[in-house]
Amino acid sequence: MKLRPRLTIFTVLLVILVVAFTSLTTVLSITYLLRREMKSNQLTLFTNFREAVFDALYLGDDLAIQVFSESLETSVPELAYAIFVDQSRGGIQLGGIESLERFKRLLPRCQRMGNLGPDSNIFLRDLKDESEAWRYYCQEIIYNNVRGQQMKGTVFLGLKLDMIEGELDRTVQRIWETLFWAMVIVLVMGLWMALSLSRRLTKPIHHLTEGAKAIGQGQLETQIPVTTTDELGFLAQEFNYMAEKLKELDKLKDDFVSSVSHELRSPLSAISGYVELLQSRPLQEIPEEKRNKALVIIRESTDRLAQFINDILDLARIEAGHIEIHRNRFKINKLAEDVFGLFQPLLEKKGIRWSIDVPAMVPQVNVDGDKIRQVLTNLISNALKFTPSGGTIRLYAKNQNEFVQISVKDTGIGISEKDRKTVFEKFVQVQKGRETVTGPKGTGLGLAIAKGIVESHGGTIWLESELRKGTTVHFTLPDSP
């Protein structure tokens, strides 16, 4: 079963359970309150009859008791009897005609049974005869008549329990009917809300599912709509960002394969061509100049292939955290002179001026000399590659707290702000730079390797650049303790 129907069913069941529980507790609470209210009204009715009996006895007016009892029979449908039994006058029973008949048939006795009222002298009892159920209240009273004589009697008030319970049942039934239709309305609204909620929650998930399926099928340009600002909306945004990154990585992969193919094809083609030339006829028949040129090109192509493979291996070791650092104390200007010496012929050929500016106060650095030479080689090689003829390359250094900051500045084509954010990533090459440079384009590994080496020494590397004015790459190294 899919997520949407499961969510809808769960929500509807939850609504049903909540409504059913709420309805049941409501009915039980209302029934309890109604019973309390009825009992309170019954006790009030008994108290009113007792007070009327007191007043009549004080005045010696037995007829008033009968009249009041008959008025209760008329106004209170559930009344069975309202009787006063005067023990001081031989058990005379005073009350309405109907009350007297029922009382004589039941002959209740006032004794402590059942629940007591607020006054401990008022007794409550429920009883049944062959056909009906009754409830009666009673209280023994002592009174003084107008002549000051102390008299004694018992006040009885009986109620038809079946009629009381029937009225309560009818009231509860009406409440149940009202709650039933309320439950129907709530369930319909709950179903509608459940469908709406499940649709709202599952629609973004469906988009994510379809998007993931499309990505899995290679459609890396896939983007899904962001319709909310909650966690699902954030997830959709992250999915789109992931898709863009995958697209970029796929492009980087294609560019890398293209660059690797070029880096491998060019020297291999040169080697193959010149080896074929040398094998085409006896060596002594080939002019010495051509033989020497062929050997030089074969050697350069072999070195180029070896360097390319070493770069890939270095990057793999850096990413795996297996790079080995053998520290020693070195002077910055010595390291720089070694590297510039390697590029001296190319610098002169291109007419590029270079300089090293390392003040005497700059201390030695505690580094792996070969690795830092590799960093400087990559930086100066890039500067040389992207600086036009007649430009300048300057290496300078200065103290930076417990570090030495080394900078390589050129007057080349510069790097755009957009490209500056990614130049230290592997296989990344500035597109404008690739179009400008003639000859081997490189693989985009140099700066990534430089970054890994510098960070493995505990330093940082960054650059500043401006289009058509040049680039400065800065990096820091710990000074010698």
pLDDT 10s digits, 187-209: 888 778 877 777 777 777 777 77
Q: Which domain, by its residues, includes 251? A: 231-316
Pairing of strands 353-357, 392-400: parallel
Question: Distance between CA 160 and CA 137 in Å, rounded?
Answer: 12
pLDDT 10s digits, 153-178: 999 998 888 888 888 888 888 888 88
pLDDT 10s digits, 38-52: 888 888 999 999 999
Does residue 213 belong to any structural domain of this protein?
Answer: no
The whole-number pLDDT of residue 451 equals 93
Same domain, 273 and 363: no
Does residue 192 belong to any structural domain of this protein?
Answer: no
CATH label of the domain that carries residue 26: 3.30.450
Same domain, 147 and 20: yes
Does residue 293 belong to any structural domain of this protein?
Answer: yes
Does residue 422 belong to any structural domain of this protein?
Answer: yes
Same domain, 331 and 454: yes
Domain count, the chain: 3
407: closest CA among 417, 416, 395, 425? 395
CATH label of the domain that carries residue 357: 3.30.565.10
User: 202 and 65 in contact (C-beta within 8 Å)?
Assistant: no
Same domain, 425 and 465: yes
| Confidence bin at 434 (pLDDT 50/70/90) | very low
Same domain, 369 and 391: yes
pTM over 0.75: no
Which of 277, 298, 316 is at the close of a domain?
A: 316
450: closest CA among 460, 464, 465? 460
With vertex at residue 413, the alpha carbon angle to CA 393 and CA 251, rounded to the nearest 5 degrees, is: 120
Same domain, 155 and 52: yes
Same domain, 166 and 292: no
Same domain, 236 and 305: yes
Does residue 409 belong to any structural domain of this protein?
Answer: yes
pLDDT 10s digits, 69-128: 999 989 998 888 899 999 888 889 999 988 888 888 777 777 655 445 445 578 877 777
Same domain, 273 and 158: no
Same domain, 289 and 366: no
pLDDT 10s digits, 131-149: 778 788 888 888 877 677 7
Pairing of strands 328-330, 92-95: unpaired
Same domain, 237 and 375: no
Which of 276, 298, 316 is at the close of a domain?
A: 316
CATH label of the domain that carries residue 279: 1.10.287.130
**Number of continuous H segments (helices) and E segments (strands) in the chain:** 11, 12
Which of 172, 189, 214 is at the close of a domain?
A: 172
